[in-house]
Amino acid sequence: MKRAKNHAEKIGAKRLCLSQEHLDQSRKAAKDSYPNEACGLLFGHEKDNALVAIEFKLLPNVDHSAVHFSIDPRDLYDSLVEAEERGLTLIAIFHSHLIRVHPSETDRKFMELWPIPWLILSTTSDRFGAFILDEGKSQEVRIQVN
């Protein structure tokens, strides 16, 4: 299975390109899951030094928690296989936070395993942020809405 080729030093120069529809889908997912965290995956491809989202796939937070999320491993695997069959790559992981738009300690631990941008929505401020881990510190990735 493929993930976007993007270790931390390469991703710093990249942007995460999303459509307004992707942002709206993320907001709706967060609203519908509230107070629990919503989660999902963004699939797309790399183009012109950017990660371009083509598809947003909402997945259930099997933790049913307001402070962390987990995606069922079978749902994750199936989503990755389906995307690869359509020529898409996992380019970002989405989830919502109640307050902060920055990655939590738990997020940072999992960002080490999944070194792609993590798109976070604060349901309180309705603000998005995208981050990647670089030498143990979260670095912001620019979001571009197309």
Q: Specify the 3-state DSSP secondary structure of 6.
A: coil
Any catalytic annotation for residue 37?
A: yes
Q: Residue 13: pLDDT band by 50, 70, 90 thresholds?
A: very low
Q: Residue 78: pLDDT band by 50, 70, 90 thresholds?
A: very high
Q: Which of 21, 37, 84, 85 is catalytic?
A: 37
Q: What are 144's strand-pairing partners?
A: 17
Q: Could you give the CA distance from residue 128 to residue 4 in angstroms, rounded to a whole number?
A: 21
- Are 141 and 130 spatial neighbours (Cβ–Cβ below 8 Å)? yes
Say what the pTM is: 0.90
Q: What is the mean pLDDT of residues 1-16?
A: 54
Q: Where are the alpha helices (DSSP H) in the chain?
A: 8-11, 20-33, 73-85, 105-113
Question: Per mean pLDDT, which range of 2-11, 72-81, 82-91, 95-104 is the poorest?
Answer: 2-11
**Taking phi first (over 0 means left), then psi (-120 to 50 degrees means alpha), and beta for anything else, what does residue 135 get?**
left
Per-residue confidence (pLDDT) for residue 6, from 0 to 100: 43
